[in-house]
Chain A
Amino acid sequence: MEPNNIDSVFRKTINDSKDYYDTEANIAKKRIRNQLGLQENKSKPLMFRLLVAACILLFISTSVMFLINYKTNNTIKILTELNTDLENKFNNVIDNDLKNDKSLIAASIVTTDTIYIEKMVMVTKPIIQTVKITDTIFINQIVYVEKEVDLRSELIVDNNLTTDSIFQILLENYETEIIINSDVPIKKKKKRKFQFKFGGSKSNENDGNLALSSKLY
C-alpha cells in the first residue's frame, strides 16, 4: 500500500467530516465565550420586540379582565344563593302564617300611620302699618258759653251792653275761661222750651197718638 494513500484517505475523510466534534464544541462554546468575555449577539428585530411587548400587554389585560370577571361571577353567585334562601324563607313564612289565625287578625287590623308632611307656609306680614301720629291742630273756633237765667234776662233786657261788658259780667259770675275773644256782638239767643204732655184729647183717640207726647217751642 502506498503510504500516501493512507494520508489521502484520512485527509479526505476528515475534511468531509469537519463537524465531527461539533457536539462537544457547542457544549464548550458558552464556557469559552464567558472566559473570553464575549456576549451573545442578542440583536432582535424591532418587530419582534414590538410583538413581544404586545403579547405581554395582551396577557396582562386578559389576566386583569379574567380576575374582574371572576370576582363579579362570585358576587353574582353569592347574591343568587342569598336570593334563593330569602325566597325559601319567605315561602316558609307565608305558609306558617296562613296556618295561624292570629296572623289573619293581625292582617285585618287597620292601623293608622301618622304621616308627617312638611309644608312650607308662607307667612305674610302686612306691609302697611298703622302708626299713631299725634298732631296738634290749632283751630280758630267760636265757643258758645251757656250762661245763667238771671244774667241772661238782664242781658236780654239791656241791649246796650257791649261785648266787653258782657264778658266782664260773665267773668265775674263764672269761673269760665274764655279762650276766644271776639268783637262781634253777642246775638240774642232765642229762648226755647221743650214741652212734655201726658195723655191726649178725646178728639185724637183715633189718631193713634201716644199717651206721652213732646213738643219743642
Chain B
Amino acid sequence: MKNKEVIKQCKSGNKSAQSILFNAHYNHMYNLSMRMLANHQDTEDALVISFTKIFNSIQKFEYRGDNSLAKWIKTIVINESIRHLNRRSKNTFCEDFPENEITTANESDISGIDVEQVYSIVESLPVGYRMVFNLFAIEGYSHKEISDLLNISESTSKTQLRKARINIIDNINKAKKYGTK
C-alpha cells in the first residue's frame, strides 16, 4: 500500500493503515528518540505520545511526497522528546564553559572509533549537549531552528554544540588512553 493511500486510510480511522504507518516509521523514530533521551523507558513513553498525536493530527496533514510524511513524523517525535525532557526537568543548558576544559584533538584521534564507542559517547553527553549535537550534527537542524525548538538563544545553541564536540573528543582520548569507552 502506498504512502498516499495509507495516509488516506489513516484519515478515515482505519486501524490497519495506522498499523502500516507505525511499522514503517517505528524503528527509525525509536533510534532518534533514544539518541536524544538516552533512556529506553523515556523513549517508549515519548513514542507512545508521539504516535498518538500523529494518528490524531493526521487529518490536518497534507501529503506532498514521501519525504514530507517522514519529516512531519520526525518533527513530532523530536518535539515530544524535548517536551519529555522538559517535564522531567532534565534539560539544562550550561552557558558558562570553563576555559580550562577546552581541549583540542587531531583528526587522527577519532580515527578507528567504532559504532559502539560513538553511541556510548553520545549517550554519555550531558542532556543539553546531547540535544543540540543530535539536532545539529546528526539531524541537520540549524541553530535558529534549534533555538526555537529548545526555547534557547542561537548563541546558547552554538555554545552547546561546541561544548558537545569538546566533550566528545575528551571522551575519545580518555577511551584510547585507558582502553575503556
Please list the residues of chain A having a beta carbon within 8 angstroms of any beta carbon in chain B.
1-3, 5-7, 9-11, 13-22, 24-25, 28-29, 31-33, 35-41
Contact = CB atoms under 8 A, between A and B. Distances in A.
A31 B31 contact: no
Interface of B: 15-16, 18-20, 22, 26-28, 30-31, 34-35, 40, 43-44, 47-48, 51-52, 55, 104-107, 109-110, 113, 115, 118-119, 122, 133, 136-138, 162, 165, 168-169
A188 B70 CA distance: 173
27 contacts: A1-B106, A1-B169, A2-B107, A3-B162, A6-B137, A6-B168, A6-B169, A10-B118, A10-B122, A10-B138, A16-B115, A18-B27, A18-B28, A18-B31, A19-B27, A19-B31, A20-B119, A22-B27, A24-B40, A28-B47, A32-B26, A32-B48, A33-B22, A35-B48, A38-B15, A38-B18, A41-B19
A38 B19 contact: yes
B107 A14 contact: no
Contacts of B27: 18-19, 22, 25
B115 A39 contact: no
B115 A1 contact: no
Contacts of B165: 3, 6-7
Contact of A37 (B15, B34, B106, B169): B15
B110 A36 contact: no
A32 B109 contact: no
B137 A10 contact: yes
Contacts of A35: 48
A28 B44 contact: yes
Contacts of B44: 28, 31-32
A1 B18 contact: no
A136 to B, nearest CB: 122
Question: What 7 pairs across the A-B complex have the smallest Cβ distances?
Answer: A7-B137, A25-B30, A13-B118, A38-B19, A1-B107, A17-B115, A21-B34
